[in-house]
Each structure stands twice: as C-alpha cells, then as structure tokens.
Structure 1
Amino acid sequence: MQTLLLDSDDVDEHARMADVIGAVEDAFGAYERGDAQMPAKSYIDLPQYNGDFRSMPAYLDAGEWDAAGVKWVNVHPDNPADHDLPTVLGTMIYSDPETAYPLAIMDGTALTMKRTGAAAAVATDYLAVPDATSMGIVGAGVQAYTQLDAISEVRPIEEVVVSDLDDERVERFIDAYDDEFDVRAGSISEAGHCDVLSTVTPVRDPVVGLEDVGERTHVNAIGADAEGKHELTDELLLEARVVIDDHEQCTHSGEVNVPYSEGTLSDEDIYGEIGELVTEKKAAREDDTGVTVFDSTGLAIQDVAAARVVYQDAREHEAGFDFGLIHTDR
C-alpha cells in the first residue's frame, strides 16, 4: 500500500473550490450533530525562535463519508526576513479512519488557504443577501485571493473593492483578477459598503467600524487568529448578528476574543455557531436581518474535509508521488 505525497501545486490544483466548500459545509454539520472529534489545538511555544508549533487533529463522520487527519503548522514571523521562508508552514497527514494507514501527506499551507476561503463561502451563503454582487476585501495578502475565489462560487460577484496600506499588494491583486471582475482599489469604507466584506488583516486595533459597512453587509472576519487581535470595532460587533465557527476558539483567539474577555460582549450577543445554521437549528439570513458577521478561527475539521477532497481528486487524476512510507508485507 502506498502513501501519496502532494506538494503545494498538487493541493492547489486538486482542492477544487466548489467541492471544498461542500465538504467544509458537511464538516460544520457533522460537528454540530456531534459526529466529529476535534481535540483542542495544542501549542509548542518557541520564544527563542520567535515562533510556535500547533497540532490540529480531527475525525468527522459526514454520513456518506468519514475522514481523519492532523495538521502540523507553525507561525514564525521572522522566517521571511531571516530565512527566506514563509511565516506559516503547514503539513497535513490524511489517514484512513478504518485502518489508520496514512493515505497522504500534503502541503498544509495551500490547504489552509483553500479551506479558509471555503468556510467564508459557507457563511456567506447562509448570511449574505441572496443577490449580492459586490465584494470588499480589507487586506490584500495571500488569504484575500481564496476569499474571492470561494465567495464568487456562492454569489454572483461582479464588483470587487480591495483596500490595503500596501499599494503594491493592491496592484498585484487587481492584476490577478482584472479579467474576471470589475476590481479596483478603495478605502476601507468603500470596501465595507459592498454586499460582502472579508477582512484578512493581523491588526490589534480595529480598522472597520459600524459606519464603514452597509445596512445589510455580511462580514467575514478572518484575520483574528490569536489573543488580542481585533479587526472590527465593538460597536459593529454589538450591532451585528454574530455567527462563530467554534465557541471555545472564537472567545479565546477569534474576532470576538477582545470584547468577550473585557465583558463588553457576552454569549447573549453571539447568535450561534455556523453548524447550527447548516443543520437548520437556527435561521440563516431573514428579510429583516441587518449586518451579519462570521467569526472564522479555522477548525481542524475543515482541514480534514478539504484534505479528503484533495486526496480523492488527486487519486482520480493520478497526481502526486506514491511512496512506501510503511511496509505492509508483514
């Protein structure tokens, strides 16, 4: 039996966004029904290297399929300047739940970007106005690209407004999508007054206020992934219908972590988890719903669901490199 090795190009090609969105939606549903196991993310802090490691294991049973795996990922902010390496390097081990055989080892960085975009698309499908045609993006880094790729799968996006302090990043983003969308640079407020807004910044002082969004804008808050990070003002969060991916992660390190820890925002101000919308335990957008916010921290079940999509499609197209990681002739 062989293990399939998939590099970042393989993952990018075979993580077909429409399929990843469907798989991530299934994962949210399985988690809400109690058909998933997802231990808390564990950390190894390495202050001597200004970095850390994180392990993210999960198993889920989506009914028609099940999957298991673990992502080993880091955050080393000094990597680009000191070692010419990305800040984040991820590796995903995708295993057969029945036998535990490692079916694939794949790049986890590209996988993370794909599943993060897919999670925002799932939330957008449930929370944005049905006829949304405009999208704003605050932060033109690598995550911005998969946000647009994914959300344009669930809404007929035509106009895109991107805002970033780095003009070169904005120009690169515009060049990448100029043939597909009416895309232009704009202010945070111009981006925020689109039908859908994704914020993908690492800020600790909020940059998007209530006055910066439209009356029915849906916001995907993606950037907050650690204690103290906070992209949206308290006023905006308190006014909006807030949906989270996981209570423990979001209150610890998601968009709501700062106002929640300070007592400004409570459980009563959180409408529910995305899995409750997927399983129809709670209503999605209604006619009188105003601003909505999805607090996305990123869950291990998303990685496992996306890894299954990649593995299945790569096998179907005979991609990647097979190797004998484990001898099975015993």
Structure 2
Amino acid sequence: MDNNISVKLISLEDIKKTRSFDLKKIIEIIENSLIAYNKGEILLPDKISQIFDYKQQTRINCMPSTLLKEGICGVKWVSVFPNNPVLFDRQNVSGVILLSEIKTGFPFAIVDGTLITALRTACLGAIGAKYLARKDSTVYGTIGTGEQAKTHFLLIKTLFPKIKTCYVASRTSKSEDAFIQVMKKKFEDVTFIACNSDYDLAAKNADIIVTAVSCQEPLLKAKSIKKGAFYCHVGGWEDEYSVPLRADKIVCDDWASLKHRGSPTIARMYEEEILMDEDIYANLADIISGELPGRESDLEFNYFNSIGLSFVDVSVAYYIYQEVISKGFGKDWTIQNADTFEVLEDLDF
C-alpha cells in the first residue's frame, strides 16, 4: 500500500492555461470568506512580518489561517521588496501559498501566490468601493502607477463601468506615461491624464481615489478630496492624518489586524491616540452581511483601508487549486511516508 503524500505544485503558467481567474467569482469568494470570518468559521492568527528596512518597508510576511468548514489550513509566504524593479528588474512582490487538510495535517498543494496577492488586494479595494463609493462614479484618481495601481483600476473599473476619466500621478513622468501606455490599450473608453507628480490634481476631481505606493509619506491631502469621494488606502503611510479625520465613515477589512500591523495611517493614529476604536465605523464584513449600511449619502466621504487577511488568500488559492486540477494541470510532488529513524540509520554519519 502506497502511503506517500501527493502534493500538487501549481505554477502561474498552470493558472494562465486554465484561465482560472473569473474576477466576479473571486469577488464573491472573498465576500463569502469575510462573512465566514465574522461568523467565527475561520481561524486567523496574527500576521508575522520580518521587516528588513523600515524606511522602504522591505519585508517577508508569514500569514496563516484555517477555513474550518472546508477543513483547509493554509499559509502565505510573501515578500515585498519595493526597490526590486529598479535595482534588479524584478517584481516587488512574490509569494507562495501552502494548503494542508486538517484531518491528517498533510499538505496537498503549493500554489503560486504572486498573482493571487495582487488580485485579492485589488478585489478588496473593489469590494470596498462597491459598498462605499457612489454608484455613478465616473472619475478615478490613482496615486501610484505600479502593479497594485494597475490591478486596482482593473478591478474597480469592472464594478464601475461608467468610469471614463483616470488621473494618474506618480513620482516620475516616465512611470505615469508607462502606466497610461499600458492601460489605454485595454480601456479604450477611458481618458487617462498624466498629472506630472501633482498629487492634488490626481485627487481633487476624483470620485474614487486610490493610493498604491511604496513610499512612507503622506502624499494625499485632505484639501484635495471633494465631497462624496471614496478613498481606498492600499499601503502604509500614504495620506496625512487630516484625511481619515475628515471621513464620514472609516471601514477596514479587519481593524484588529490593521492595528497589529501598525504601519498604515490610521494604525499610526491609533498608536498616537489620535484615533480611537469607536472612530472606526465597521469592518467590511459588517456591511457585506447587511448588519450595517454602507454609503448612505452622495455627500459622504468614505475611507477604506485593507491590510490583507490570509484567509482571503487561502480561499482564493483553494478555488484556483480546484479549477486547475479539474482541468488536468499542476505537477505532482511526493512527500514520502517514511520512518525517519530508518532513514537516519541508512545515512552514513
């Protein structure tokens, strides 16, 4: 009897071949996972971050969680090295997601986590916009032009097809132009406007504002935000303290996890006792489930901050695993069911 453990290795190429990214399906999976977490159906230990450069926030994160109803435990190992594109011509985020079943504890899949990380982060921003932005939003402003900025626009545009104008601001005109050249090919119905590093211009006309940058300085000013806008905060310290203080509603994917991370603007404000627990309107699941209303007025300025929850990654990775293996892709890797002492006996010390 073969008691060896078969593990599927699922590469980005496998995911691309099977076309496993139904964006609306993934948004549905994420919404359902947030509700499950609210119901106590998910275990979520604290994220462990090993930070190697606090100024650049160069780090590797270890993010475990368990989907109790599905019997799936997973962990994402993800690195964020903001200088990679400039210094090494490599992407700044890379990761893998390990999935195990919780009957015997053995792993059954290792899934490329880089694309999943980009998509789940942008999906959370899009879900935040779905419940907190004006439905008739037509003007978008992005501060940041990297992969997260592109992915956020893709996902939010999917849910807000009336967006026809996008203001683009970055640290250099070169990066703004590169963003525009890529995006205008896919979104022919959108006019992209370079802001020449004018962050105020990117924000002041926007119905939806997204900051997706790696720097740790407040680029977005409260005076730049019009009434009725929705702001999606993606990274760390990207906006001045007066921005959340001006908000009618502050919503997080999970406030407790965000406080634990410590680097986002509102977490800094909490640590400095400028913002209190009662200033946070809701976690996103409270609104998705209908326990609390989302946007209630066209004049509301709503603020959304997600920190990243590993059960979202695990839920999406499990869905992709099922899609990929159902179509015959993925490579097998074997963990031998061995008596470790017998193995040691066979070794020549």
Question: TM bucket by the smaller chain?
Answer: 0.7 to 0.9
Q: Is the 8 A contact 1:136 1:194 kept in 2?
A: yes
Residue 244 in structure 1 maps to residue 249 in structure 2: no
Contact kept, 8 Å, 2:82 with 2:214, in 1: the verdict is no
| Alignment CA distance shift 1:284-1:194 (3 Å) | same
Q: Is the 8 A contact 1:21 1:150 kept in 2?
A: no
TM-score by length of 2: 0.83
**C-alpha distance in 2 between matches for 1:205 and 1:53:** 21
By how many angstroms is 1:291 displaced? Answer: 0.7
Q: Would you say the 8 A contact 1:245–1:296 is kept in 2? A: yes
Kindly indicate whether residue 115 of structure 2 is the aligned counterpart of residue 104 of structure 1. no
Measured in 2, the distance between the counterparts of 1:304 and 1:119 equals 14
Corresponding position: 1:189 with 2:200: yes
Q: Secondary structure at the match of 1:198?
A: strand
> How far apart, CA to CA, are the structure 1 residues paired with 2:179 and 2:89?
22
- The whole-number CA distance in structure 2 between the counterparts of 1:77 and 1:162 is 19
Match of 2:296 in 1: 286
Where 1:14 maps in the other structure, the secondary structure is coil
**Distance of 1:299 and 1:273 partners within structure 2:** 12
1:1-330 equivalences in 2 (<5 Å): 2-11=6-15, 13-44=19-50, 52-61=59-68, 67-76=72-81, 85-156=90-161, 157-179=163-185, 180=187, 181-182=189-190, 183-186=192-195, 187-192=198-203, 193-224=205-236, 230-240=237-247, 241-251=249-259, 252-287=262-297, 290-319=300-329, 321-327=330-336
- Supply the AA of the counterpart residue of 2:250: V
The one-letter code of the counterpart of 2:223 is E
Deviation at 1:329, TM superposition (A): 11
**Alignment-mate amino acid for residue 118 of structure 2:** M
Amino acid at match of 2:246: E
Distance 2:91 2:254 in 1: 27
Helix, strand or coil at the partner of 1:264: coil
1:132-168 deviation per Cα after TM superposition (whole angstroms, max 9, x unaligned) = 2222111001111110121122211332221111222
Cα deviation, residue 190, structure 1: 3.3
Describe the shift of the 1:315–1:326 C-alpha distance in structure 2 as closer, same or farther (beyond 3 A).
same
CA apart distance, 1:77: 5.4
Gaps (5+ residues) in structure 1?
A: 225-229
TM-score by length of 1: 0.87
**Where do 5+ consecutive residues of structure 2 fail to align?**
340-349
Query: Aligned partners of 2:82, 2:201: CA distance in 1, in Å?
Result: 30
Which amino acid is 2:232 matched to?
Answer: N
Contact 1:2 1:322 in 2 (8 A): no
Note closer, same or farther for the CA distance 1:257–1:146 as it changes in structure 2 (3 Å cut).
Answer: same
RMSD: 2.6
Q: Distance in 1 between matches of 2:103 and 2:20?
A: 24
Contact 1:123–1:274 (CA under 8 A) maintained in structure 2: yes
Number of residue pairs matched by the alignment: 320
- The answer (yes or no) to whether the contact 2:134–2:298 under 8 Å persists in 1 is no
